[in-house]
Amino acid sequence: MKLMKHLFSSLFVATTMLSSQVFAEEKVAEQAQPQAQVQQQTASQTTQQAVSDKLNINTARASEIQKALIGIGAKKAEAIVQYREKHGNFTMAEQLLEVQGIGKATLEKNRDRIAF
């Protein structure tokens, strides 16, 4: 009888320890999953930010154009908006050369900053 009690006690302790280990492993897995999701979201946001760093020249206000583009002040930014309103949306960067006050050097400085 003593042997049976000892055997059951040992079995109970072993089961408890095993359950604790399984529970701990599940907790670690639960914590790792959100962390992986956060890393994935961060990578996605970085990619979106790289795309959103470009200025959509067809929807931007003059103030946004002035802030986002190099060598473009208030007057040139307003000229871009007026040109767009008169002639329609830009479809390629070279069309900016048709806006008074914008030359090749300004276009080249901003080519990578413009989206359509």
Asked if residues 97 and 104 have their Cβ atoms less than 8 Å apart, the reply is yes
The angle subtended at Cα 78 by Cα 77 and Cα 82, nearest 5°, is 120
Residue 58, helix vs strand vs coil: coil
Per-residue pLDDT of the chain (116 residues; tens, 9 = 90+): 666 665 556 655 555 655 556 556 666 666 666 665 656 665 555 444 445 689 999 999 999 999 999 999 999 999 999 999 999 999 999 999 999 999 999 999 999 999 99
User: Chain-wide mean pLDDT for the chain?
Assistant: 80
Backbone angles phi, psi at 103, to 5 degrees: -110, -175
Closest CA to 113 of 69, 75, 77: 69
- Whether the model pTM is above 0.85: no
User: With pLDDT > 90 as the criterion, what percentage of the chain qualifies?
Assistant: 54
Closest of 69, 71, 76, 81 to residue 100, by C-alpha: 76
Decide if 74 contacts 88 (C-beta within 8 A): no
pLDDT for position 53: 85
Task: Please calculate the CA angle 46-54-71 and round it to the nearest 5 degrees.
Answer: 135
Structure tokens at 19: 């359950």
